[in-house]
C-alpha cells in the first residue's frame, strides 16, 4: 500500500466537509434521492478518514470528532436538500442552529490545531509574556500529552538511585536532543567520565524514549562506544510533542539512571 502523507487535523476536518458537500450536490445532479445523497456525503468522507487514520492514528477522540462533524453535516445537507426540493424558505430558527453548528466546527478545529501544533509564533509572541529575561527557555503552547500509568511506577526506582549516583560521582553529558525534529534523523551522544574526569569505558548504555501522548511510539536505543567514554546511536522519532528520555548506564556492579524531558518540533 502506498504511503499516505500526514496532514493536519484542520485539513482533514474541513477537507472532508468540502468533499461531503460536493458528493451531495453531485449525487443530487445524477438523480440520487435526497436521503441517499445525504448518506453518501456522510459515509464516504468518514470511510476515507478511517483509511487515513489507520496509517496516522491521532486518537479515538479525534476520530469521534470527525464522525460527529461528518454526520451532522450530512444531516444539515439532507434537510437543506429537502427544503430546496420543496422550494420552501428556511425559518430563522434552523438558520441559527446551522450557523451555531458552523461556529462550533470552526472553534473545535482551531482548538485542536492549537492543542496539536501550538500557537503560531506571531500570536504567541503577542499574547505570552516577554521572554527577554529568559532566552534559554523555549515556550511551547501545544498540549504536552499524558504519561501512561505503567510509566509512573518507574519513578520510585529513580528516587532510590539518587543517593547511589551521588556517591559514584559520574559526570554524564547527553547531547543531540536539542533542535531535533520529527521524522528527521539525528545522533544521540553521551559522554561519560568518572569523578576525576577520566573516561569510563565499556559501559552498557541504553536510552528509552517515551512519547507522552502515545506510548506506541516508544523506542529503546542502545549506544555504542565510538571513542573512550563517548557513546553514540542514531535517533529518528516519528512525531512532534513532548517526549521523555530515560537514560540507563551499567558498568560492572554500578548503575546510573537519569530522566530528561524534551519537546520535539515538527
CATH classification of the domain holding 212: 2.60.40.1930
- For the chain, how many structural domains are there in total? 2
Domain boundaries, position 200: 149-264
In a domain, 93, yes or no: yes
In a domain, 203, yes or no: yes
Tell me: do 107 and 153 sit in the same domain. Answer: no
pLDDT of residue 135: 43
The string of DSSP codes covering 218-250 is -EEEEEEEEETTEEEEEE--SS-EEEEEEEEEE
Local confidence band at 133 (pLDDT 50, 70, 90 cut-offs): very low
In a domain, 185, yes or no: yes
What is the share, in percent, of the chain residues with pLDDT greater than 70? Answer: 74
| Mean pLDDT, all residues of the chain | 79
Last residue of a domain, one of 117, 135, 162: 117
In a domain, 1, yes or no: no
pLDDT of residue 67: 86
Rounded to the nearest 5°, which phi and psi values hold at 189? -125, 135
- Report the alpha-carbon distance of residue 111 to residue 116 in Å, rounded: 9
Tell me: do 110 and 157 sit in the same domain. Answer: no
In a domain, 124, yes or no: no
Amino acid at each position: 500500500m502506498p504511503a499516505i502523507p500526514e496532514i493536519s487535523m484542520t485539513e482533514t476536518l474541513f477537507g472532508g466537509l468540502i468533499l461531503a458537500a460536493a458528493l451531495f450536490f453531485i449525487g443530487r445532479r445524477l438523480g440520487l434521492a435526497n436521503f441517499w445523497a445525504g448518506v453518501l456525503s456522510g459515509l464516504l468522507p468518514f470511510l476515507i478518514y478511517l483509511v487515513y487514520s489507520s496509517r496516522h492514528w491521532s486518537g479515538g477522540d479525534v476520530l469521534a470528532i470527525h464522525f460527529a462533524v461528518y454526520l451532522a453535516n450530512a444531516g444539515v445537507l439532507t434537510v437543506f436538500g429537502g427544503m430546496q426540493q420543496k422550494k420552501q424558505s428556511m425559518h430563522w430558527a434552523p438558520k441559527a442552529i446551522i450557523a451555531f453548528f458552523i461556529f462550533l466546527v470552526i472553534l473545535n478545529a482551531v482548538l485542536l490545531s492549537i492543542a496539536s501544533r501550538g500557537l503560531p509564533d506571531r500570536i504567541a509572541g503577542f499574547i505570552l509574556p516577554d521572554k527577554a529575561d529568559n532566552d534559554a527557555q523555549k515556550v511551547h503552547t501545544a498540549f504536552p500529552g499524558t504519561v501512561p500509568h505503567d510509566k509512573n511506577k518507574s519513578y520510585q526506582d529513580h528516587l532510590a538511585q539518587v543517593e547511589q549516583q551521588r556517591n559514584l560521582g559520574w559526570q554524564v553529558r547527553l547531547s543531540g536532543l536539542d533542535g531535533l525534529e520529527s521524522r528527521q534523523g539525528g545522533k544521540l551522544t553521551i559522554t561519560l567520565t568518572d569523578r576525576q574526569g577520566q573516561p569510563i569505558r565499556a559501559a552498557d548504555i541504553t536510552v528509552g524514549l517515551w512519547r507522552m501522548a502515545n506510548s506506541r511510539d516508544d523506542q529503546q536505543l542502545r549506544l555504542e562506544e565510538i571513542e573512550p567514554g563517548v557513546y553514540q546511536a542514531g535517533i529518528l522519532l516519528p512525531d512532534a510533542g513532548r517526549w521523555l528520555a530515560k537514560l540507563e548506564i551499567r558498568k560492572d556492579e554500578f548503575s546510573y539512571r537519569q530522566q530528561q524531558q524534551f519537546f520535539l518540533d515538527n
